[in-house]
Amino acid sequence: MKNERFIRTKVVSLVDEDENKTFNECSFISSEIKSSMLKNHTFDNCHFLMSDFIGCDLTKSKFIDCYFENLDFRLCDLVMCEFTNCKFVNSEFTLCDLDESEFFHCKAKNLSWEKCSMIDMDMDENHFSTIDV
């Protein structure tokens, strides 16, 4: 899927059996993705603005060169996910499972983590830095 725009879209209980789907240069603006199974997908150069992932299973998904602003990952399974060259502004992870996830060369401003599981998560100072926006 390429260059798609999801504006004020509400997706509830999507079960995408087609694993390994790639979203390339897509935008999610003021949208809510809720209780959906999106395992092993790739989001490449996507923008997530004022949107929420709530109760989604994104296990083994990859986020490459993505921009997140005012995004809430809430109650999501993000086990073994990869975030590479992503930027996070005023975003949060709440009650998420981030076990074994990796953040490579990501940047953030006002990123918060609340009650998340982060066992064996790779996020040292060489992989994550702050930005001025």
pLDDT in tens, 64-111: 999 999 999 999 999 999 999 999 999 999 999 999 999 888 998 888
13 — pLDDT class (breaks 50, 70, 90): low
Our count of domains for the chain comes to: 1
In a domain? residue 40: yes
pLDDT in tens, 16-49: 666 678 899 999 999 988 888 888 899 999 999 9
Instruction: Quote the pLDDT of residue 124.
Output: 59
If one counts every other C-beta atom within 10 angstroms of the C-beta of residue 35, the result is 14
In a domain? residue 87: yes
In a domain? residue 76: yes
In a domain? residue 107: yes
In a domain? residue 58: yes
In a domain? residue 128: no
In a domain? residue 16: no
- Minimal CA–CA distance to 79: which of 103, 56, 58? 58
In a domain? residue 133: no
Given a cut of 90, is residue 9 above it in pLDDT?
Answer: no
37-61: burial string, b at 16+ Cβ within 10 Å, e else? bbbbbbbbebbbbebbbbbbbbbbb
What residue numbers bound the domain in which 31 lies? 5-11+22-114
The CATH number of the domain where 61 resides is what? 2.160.20.80
